[in-house]
Structure 1
Amino acid sequence: MTEPANQFVGLKAMHNSAVLLSEGGQPVVLLPGFGFTAGGQAQTMDLLLVPFEHSGYVTRLFFARQITGRGSNWKELRVIERNWWAPSWNHVPATLPWTKMLLAHLRAVE
């Protein structure tokens, strides 16, 4: 099994609807209808984990929409043929297991 496939197994166990895709020849993970908490409020939305350098950030987590009052300096970007939102949240290492990478990125909107 390749490294992205091994990493994907953990995310698939965490969120059964996870889908491994490719952006520019690099693996990305779509997490449709992912449930998480932001500012004490339950949220459900599509997320996109980009486990490599993207738009000046070491790794990225994109959200289907901005979360009012959470995160900072939200930017809209187009990835995998879709518009996504991401807060300014950097230095989540690409060396982390993808499950831990996802959780580290979610801290930006806690």
Structure 2
Amino acid sequence: MTAEQHLAALRRINRRAELWDEGGRPLVYLPSMQIQHNGGTITADGLLCPRNHGSYTTRLFLSQPFPNRGQNWTVHQIMGLAWHTMSFNYVSELLPWTEILAIHLGQLK
């Protein structure tokens, strides 16, 4: 699938999803995501990196940390904004972007 096809699939989940580019690497901005967390729902912006970032195969960055879920939260400056992410690795970049997102979000439930 092309980046545009992956984006179209993500827009079925978040109609405001935007494809961003950081040095030739695709990122998907996901504003106002409804995230299942601790038996409730939290609204936060997301930034999906469906390709490697550092030593991670894929990453999901969030506008806020969820310290009682996931491990080793860190902050990264991406596109001029601070983004929080947990240490969670080996989600294959070969998967559809919707599946990459679902696997990362599953760690926050």
Give the TM-score taking structure 2 as reference length: 0.95
| Higher helix fraction (1 or 2) | 1
Instruction: Give the residue type in structure 1 aligned to 2:82.
Output: N
* CA–CA separation in structure 2 for the residues paired with 1:41 and 1:51: 26
> Where do residues 98-109 of structure 1 align in structure 2 (5 Å cutoff)?
98-109=97-108
The Cα shift of 1:20 comes to 0.7
* CA–CA separation in structure 2 for the residues paired with 1:73 and 1:39: 18
8 Å contact from structure 1 (residues 87, 108) kept in 2: no
Gaps of 5+ in 2: none
* CA–CA separation in structure 1 for the residues paired with 2:108 and 2:12: 23
1:9 aligns with 2:11: no
1:58 corresponds in structure 2 to: 57
How many residues matched?
109
Cα-Cα RMSD = 1.1
1:86 corresponds in structure 2 to: 85
**Secondary structure at the counterpart of residue 31 of structure 2:** strand
* CA–CA separation in structure 1 for the residues paired with 2:38 and 2:90: 22
**Secondary structure at the counterpart of residue 28 of structure 2:** strand
Instruction: Give the residue type in structure 2 aligned to 1:66.
Output: P
1:31 corresponds in structure 2 to: 30
Consecutive aligned runs of 4 or more in structure 1 exceeding 6 Å deviation: none
* CA–CA separation in structure 2 for the residues paired with 1:4 and 1:14: 16
Instruction: Give the residue type in structure 2 aligned to 1:75.
Output: T
* CA–CA separation in structure 2 for the residues paired with 1:55 and 1:76: 13
